[in-house]
Amino acid sequence: MFEELLNNKDTWLSGKGPFSEIIFSSRVRLARNFSDYPFPARASSAQKEKILKTMEEARARIDLLKEAVFFRMEDIDDIDRQFLLERHLISQEHMHTTKGKGLILSLDEKVALMINEEDHLRMQAMASGFDLNRAYETINAIDDSIAKLVDFSFMSNLGYLTSCPTNVGTALRASCMLHLPALTFTKRINKVLELLAKISFATRGFFGEGTQALGDFFQISNQISLGLSEMEVIDNLAGVVNQVKEQEIDARAVLIKKHKLELEDNVWRSYGVLRSCRLVSSKEALSHLSILSLGLDLGIIDKISRELLNNLFLMIQPAHLQKVEARVLKEGERDFIRAQILRERLGEA
């Protein structure tokens, strides 16, 4: 199955959604716990096993999940787990600690349910571009279906109970992945991030919590779910993301007006490096692809397609390279294979 995912072009990076030149993806995640069991950190192996079996059986009874695949994380090897992380389908914790954990994954990668992560269920739906409502509708329908089969931990005065107090309430975390190279280039990004923190929105890197903003990607999400309805959380995030999008559009206009020659030079230099390099790290490759993406959006370069660029953001990741080669690669080998793929896809100089 993982080999099939390699060729799946209809992912969160497909570039087909609204405003996808800046807002690459939207995600809505719900945390839920079964009322009859301790939270995963306190649950026994036998209790976790019962939860796994309950969800494996539930999957077959829910229309939206009948075509999805059930995995036990301990049956998935290291490279495949990292591959799932790179595609934003599991968390760092789910990748590194596997005993008693599971995953339900739709073949189109738009739905992923982590079982026995920090909570009994971490359910997410993803959509390309700025489409939080579509992601929410999908995961809400799945949540409603599961709630007919099991009882969730819930208190009328608090809402859904979760392992982390910040998720209590709706237990909904909504996020958007934004590409903000112009704000970074014009050195306005820090002020934007500071403002987001002041109004209680979290900003994370390319791979979520605890990661750096590689390639000028920033994941913006709500931090508060208690005391707000699901739609209030969605609408609040949408409003903030829309403002950041407008800031990026303004910064791009400034670049064209005041720094056009320097910007063009950066774009064509990045194109030249990626078309001719023999060794390149994932961090450097992401940086050059980010500049190329900006150049494509601004009409500076038209020799490449959005679909190709977005696909390369994933294909240059370490586990993806090893899936392509069907073998474990050392770091130096990965840098070589990465450069080879970039040359081939972009047209070798």
Domain ranges of the chain: 2-252, 260-346
Confidence of residue 210 (pLDDT cuts 50, 70, 90): very low
Find, among 113, 156, 110, 155, the residue nearest to 135 by Cα. Answer: 110
| Helix, strand, coil share of the chain (percent; to 5) | 50, 15, 35
Mean pLDDT of 77-86: 94
Among the ranges given (80-84, 143-147, 202-206), the one the predictor scored with the smallest mean pLDDT: 202-206
Q: What percent of the chain has pLDDT over 70?
A: 97
3-class DSSP state of 9:
coil
Which amino acid is present at 333? E
Confidence of residue 40 (pLDDT cuts 50, 70, 90): very high
Tens of pLDDT, residues 292-321: 999 999 999 988 988 899 899 999 999 999
Task: Return the pLDDT at 8.
Answer: 77
User: Over 90: is that where the pLDDT of 192 sits?
Assistant: yes
Under CATH, what is the fold of the domain 2-252? Creatine Kinase; Chain A, domain 2 (3.30.590)
Find, among 78, 82, 177, 167, the residue nearest to 123 by Cα. Answer: 167
* Encoded tokens for 74: 């301990």
Task: Return the pLDDT at 349.
Answer: 45
Burial class (CB within 10 angstroms; exposed 0-12, middle 13-18, buried 19+) of 326: exposed
Cα distance between residue 143 and residue 226, in whole Å: 18
Tens of pLDDT, residues 229-287: 999 999 999 999 999 999 999 999 999 999 999 999 999 999 999 999 999 999 999 99
Mean pLDDT of 4-31: 86
Task: Return the pLDDT at 113.
Answer: 98
Mean pLDDT of 74-94: 94
Mean pLDDT of 84-101: 93
Among the ranges given (147-151, 222-226, 255-259, 273-277), the one the predictor scored with the smallest mean pLDDT: 222-226
Task: Return the pLDDT at 12.
Answer: 73
Q: What percent of the chain has pLDDT over 90?
A: 82
Which residues in 102-258 belong to E strands, given as ranges? 102-105, 111-115, 121-128, 154-155, 159-160, 172-179, 201-204, 217-222
3-class DSSP state of 76:
coil
Which residues in 33-108 belong to E strands, given as ranges? 69-72, 102-105
Task: Return the pLDDT at 213.
Answer: 61
Task: Return the pLDDT at 212.
Answer: 54
Can you say whether residue 215 is alpha, beta or left, with left for phi > 0 and alpha for psi between -120 and 50 degrees? Answer: left
Task: Return the pLDDT at 20.
Answer: 92
- Report the mean per-residue pLDDT for the chain: 92
Mean pLDDT of 64-78: 94
